């Protein structure tokens, strides 16, 4: 999985993170470390994980300056064992210390998402159902978090409100009904997905020829019955309360997709350590 480290949103996110943490300067490092002292450091996994965001390290150090070499020893999407090195860096000791927390925050957060995403992907293997992420991401970090989810092996849903049509309950209310919402949404010229709450809404959506229906907050048994009723007339996505423990049951209903916000909003940051070596 390639991280788009040259994307303007990514560069700005890293720039903001550095400014937030370092501000006008790292007063501890400036007080303790001689100006020209050089050092090397290594990022090491303290637990098994799926790496994500390692490719951000050269960008982090380039934006700060003072680094001679960054050697990546793992790539996004790669499974990493406890004790394995993800990257090695060499340069000014002050720079390494200034960037330590920013680098670890990105690596731990993104690798945590990729690790959880890999577990979701493996949980549904053999069902023919694909796992989707959602827009339930950290504000300002969506692109990074979705790239981490993809590195873990799941499929990205829409990036934002601008790149797919998804009619939800409040759209239906505001538009005056299922058919009205669908007919107006056709102006966007894109395939239409609609969330339906009742069998009546489902029948109306299918009669309008939507590409995909979203069924929310059903039990696996209820979802399986609706999938049988739809019978291939539209793709089916299931959402609502889908967790790692139950995602297989939902995937076995015959649905085309299951979506889970937990992949991004509830992923645990994994344990990665930065070891400094002075020379």
Please give the positions annotated as active site: 101, 136, 168, 195, 216
Strand residues in the chain grouped as ranges (E): 38-45, 49-50, 67-72, 79-80, 85-92, 130-132, 165-167, 192-196, 212-216, 235-239, 257-259, 272-278
Residue 275 CA neighbour count, 13 Å, CB half: 12
Instruction: Report phi then psi at 41, rounded to 5.
Output: -150, 160
SS3 call for 98: helix
Name residue, tokens 């960008």: 59
Question: At how many degrees (to 10) do helices 199-207 and 178-185 cross?
Answer: 30
In angstroms, how far is CA 178 from the centroid of its own chain? 31
> Could you give the CA distance from residue 203 to residue 198 in angstroms, rounded to a whole number?
9
Q: Count Cβ atoms below 10 Å from residue 211 Cβ, excluding itself.
A: 12
Q: How far is CA 164 from CA 117, 138, 156, in A?
A: 22, 20, 12
């Amino acid at each position: 999985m390639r991280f788009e480290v040259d994307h303007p949103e990514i560069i700005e996110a890293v720039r903001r993170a550095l400014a937030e943490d370092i501000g006008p300067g790292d007063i501890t490092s400036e007080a303790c470390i001689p100006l020209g002292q050089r050092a090397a450091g290594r990022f090491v996994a303290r637990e098994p994980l799926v790496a994500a965001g390692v490719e951000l390290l050269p960008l982090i150090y380039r934006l700060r300056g003072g680094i001679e070499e960054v050697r990546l020893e793992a790539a996004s999407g790669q499974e990493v064992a406890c004790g394995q090195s993800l990257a090695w860096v060499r340069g000014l000791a002050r720079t390494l210390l200034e960037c330590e927390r920013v680098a670890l925050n990105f690596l731990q957060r993104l690798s945590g998402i990729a690790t959880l995403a890999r577990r979701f992907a493996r949980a549904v293997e053999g069902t023919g159902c694909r796992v989707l992420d959602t827009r339930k991401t950290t504000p300002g970090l969506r692109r990074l978090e979705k790239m981490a989810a993809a590195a873990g092996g799941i499929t990205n849903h829409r990036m934002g409100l601008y790149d797919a049509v998804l009619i939800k309950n409040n759209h239906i209310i505001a538009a005056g009904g299922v058919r009205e919402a669908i007919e107006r949404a056709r102006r966007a010229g894109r395939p239409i997905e609609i969330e339906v709450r009742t069998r009546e809404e489902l029948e109306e959506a299918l009669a309008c020829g939507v590409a995909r229906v979203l069924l929310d907050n059903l039990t696996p048994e209820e979802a399986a019955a609706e999938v049988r009723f739809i019978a291939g007339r539209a793709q089916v996505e299931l959402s609502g309360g889908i967790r790692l423990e139950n995602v297989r049951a939902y995937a076995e209903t015959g649905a085309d997709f299951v979506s889970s916000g937990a992949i991004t909003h509830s992923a645990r940051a994994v344990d990665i350590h930065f070891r400094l070596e002075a020379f």
